[in-house]
Amino acid sequence: MMSDRPHPILIVVTALVYLFLMLPLVIVVGAALSDTTYLTFPPQGLSLRWFYNIFEISAFRRTIVTSLQIAFLGTMIALLIGIPAAYALNRFRVELPKWLGTLFVLPILVPEIVFGFALLKSFTVGTGAPIFLALLIGHTLIVLPYVVRVISASLASFDFSIEEAAISLGSAPVKTFFTIVLPNVRGGVIAAFILAFITSLNDVSVSLFLTGPGISTLPIQILAHVEQFFDPTVASVSVLLMFLTVAVMAIVERTLGLTFLAK
């Protein structure tokens, strides 16, 4: 069992686990392609009508736009504040206290649903701030840990003496950062962007409380739709989201290789 070749039973279990992981997703794709008005698998006849239906329901159109906006803006803000933080954590490791690194992963440690509720209660209700702003802040914070961790990981293998050499040769620090440091962690930045964007796009727990008149996100809309109608539209939206995921994974695979995600 412990020789290099795993025991056949282990291989069978692994195969079953992967079947368990993949089969439900295959079923969703099948249900999305069905031409019946109810959810069924295998599909009775193939049709793309449920994909058109997504765009005919205005709530889906609206929430897709909101979700993409929030995911993009939230990720950009998280990069803007997270890259300097990750840089400082690595560059000034000796000078900065250890808890600072823990602080930036805190948004993953506290229950998301509690965070969403706290933003609603203390921020939206307390200050009367617009929902869109609260939603944006919530999403920025839940993706911040991914940004800081992924970029820290790529900075960990960067040799800061290169930067010091450039500076001692007269290059301005800010210019040095943009011409020497940043290009070296480009892969990390792309990976952080993608991870953050997908995390934000799929978030339920934080967004749950931060919806209001006219503002909701796609996963929340999907939840509401499933509870009212049990039709293949949701399967089609799901397939659309999966396509997006595949596209994004293809980009990561090309730039970095996916194995880094297991680190």
Site for another protein in 185-244 (CB under 8 A): 198, 201-202, 204-205, 208-209, 219, 222-223, 226, 234-235, 238, 241-242
C-beta of residue 125 within 8 angstroms of C-beta of residue 209: no
Report how far Cα 50 is from the mean position of its chain's Cα atoms: 26
Give least dist CB 56 to another protein, A. 20
Give least dist CB 173 to another protein, A. 4
Task: Say whether residue 31 binds another protein (CB under 8 A).
Answer: yes
Q: How many Cβ atoms sit within 10 Å of the Cβ of residue 30?
A: 17
| Helices marked H in 33-110 | 49-56, 58-91, 99-109
Cα diameter, the chain? 71
88: CB partners within 8 A, 6+ apart: 96
Binding to another protein (CB under 8 A) within 73-102 occurs at 80-82, 84-85, 87-89, 91-92, 94-96, 100
C-beta of residue 151 within 8 angstroms of C-beta of residue 86: yes
Give least dist CB 155 to another protein, A. 12
Task: Say whether residue 132 binds another protein (CB under 8 A).
Answer: no
Task: Say whether residue 1 binds another protein (CB under 8 A).
Answer: yes
- The nearer residue to another protein, 26 or 48, going by C-beta atoms, is 26
Segment contacting another protein by CB under 8 A, of 26-34, 48-56, 58-66, 68-76: 26-34
